[in-house]
């Protein structure tokens, strides 16, 4: 009897180990997908990944698998290792987070987008590149409730200088403690802002804080659908403090040679994303997901059908 129990225990342990190994390898134990991507952590990235999946599977014989969510830097590292093939990203993210550079490193007369692709290409072993821009610039921007904007006549960040001492500024902790160029201290120095108070907070609490009146000015992503739900006025960055964050699909360059026979039109299919969605469109799409709680798959498919890109 004891021997039977031990045998059963060994079988259970074997199954558990197999499952752990399968999950740990990330790439799947029985996946037959041609292209793989680790999903992002917010709705804009979810949408872009599904745009790619729908377009590739509609116009080629390739299959795309969307894996579990992963932080951008982890996803980038996995792609460099060859464990995934593409990801939604931004030229500003590639510059600062992935390559460890800063906007001041971009040579005069050269666009940030071209510079980061040039720098990324220097790793000839695991070369990645940003494909053409999607049409969105999901940069940071300051937002204030519409009623405050109307009360003080706010259109630009410069307009805040005259009334900042009456307003409370709130943003995620990292915006205050990280010493990079696009952070709180350099921002207020450039624009001459002296807020009544500054409040570091969890990134998930920003919108509830601004809606409840606990803060008056906050840092947001330009294409976040929650800006619409919170009825925020986005102030023009008239001194161009924040670097651009042009959205684009980041790919391993070898995917086009790997699938040259099976999908010779793969580069053209990815090209269908070029200029596909504007900032205003992305706000509406993410609003449907984040606020109206619609399925990201449903929203992505509906949008591509409206654009005539899938049947």
Q: Is the dihedral of CA 78, 81, 84, 87 positive or negative?
A: positive
Number of residues in the chain: 311
Whether the pLDDT of residue 21 is over 50: the answer is no
Domain over 140-235 is classified CATH 3.40.50.800: no
The pLDDT, as a whole number, for residue 123 is: 85
Is residue 215 within 8 Å of 207, Cβ to Cβ?
no
Q: Please give the mean pLDDT across all residues of the chain.
A: 90
Look at residue 249 in the predicted model and tell me its pLDDT: 98
Fold exhibited by the domain 31-138+244-306:
D-Maltodextrin-Binding Protein; domain 2 (3.40.190)
Confidence at residue 178, expressed as pLDDT on a 0 to 100 scale = 64
CB 71 within 8 A of CB 41: yes
Report, as an integer, the average pLDDT of 198-215.
94
Q: Do 31-138+244-306 and 140-235 fold alike per CATH? A: yes
What is the per-residue pLDDT across 132-186, written as a single tens digit (0 to 9) for each? 999 999 999 999 999 999 999 999 999 999 999 999 999 998 888 765 667 899 9
Exposure class string for 141-153: b at 16+ Cβ within 10 A, else e: bbbbbeebbeebe
**Which among 135, 123, 61 has a CA at the least distance from the CA of 252?**
123
Instruction: Indicate the domain borders of the chain.
Output: 31-138+244-306, 140-235
Global pTM? 0.80
């Amino acid at each position: 009897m004891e021997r039977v129990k031990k045998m059963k225990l060994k079988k259970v342990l074997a199954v558990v180990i197999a499952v752990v190994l399968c999950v740990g390898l990330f790439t799947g134990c029985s996946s037959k997908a041609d292209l793989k991507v680790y999903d992002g952590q917010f709705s804009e990235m979810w949408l872009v990944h599904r745009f790619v999946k729908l377009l590739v599977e509609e116009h080629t014989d390739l299959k795309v698998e969307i894996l579990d969510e992963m932080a951008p830097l982890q996803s980038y590292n996995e792609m460099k290792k060859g464990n995934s093939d593409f990801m939604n990203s931004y030229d500003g993210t590639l510059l600062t987070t992935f390559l460890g550079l800063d906007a001041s490193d971009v040579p005069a007369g050269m666009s940030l987008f071209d510079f980061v692709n040039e720098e990324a290409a220097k790793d000839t072993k695991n070369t990645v590149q940003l494909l053409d821009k999607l049409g969105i610039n999901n940069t940071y921007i300051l937002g204030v409730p519409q009623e405050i904007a109307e009360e003080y006549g706010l259109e630009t960040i410069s307009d805040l200088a005259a009334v900042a001492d009456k307003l409370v500024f709130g943003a995620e902790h990292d915006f205050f403690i990280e010493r990079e160029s696009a952070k709180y201290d350099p921002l207020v120095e450039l624009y001459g802002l002296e807020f009544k108070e500054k409040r570091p907070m969890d990134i998930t609490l920003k919108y509830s804080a601004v809606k409840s009146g606990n803060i008056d000015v906050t840092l947001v992503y330009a294409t976040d659908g929650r800006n619409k739900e919170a009825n925020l006025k986005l102030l023009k960055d008239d001194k161009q403090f924040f670097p651009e964050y042009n959205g684009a699909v980041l790919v391993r360059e070898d995917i086009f040679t790997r699938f040259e026979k099976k999908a010779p039109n793969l580069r053209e299919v990815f090209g269908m994303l070029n200029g596909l969605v504007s900032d205003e469109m992305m706000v509406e799409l993410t609003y449907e997901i984040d606020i109206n709680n619609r399925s990201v798959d449903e929203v992505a498919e509906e949008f591509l059908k409206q654009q005539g890109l899938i049947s």
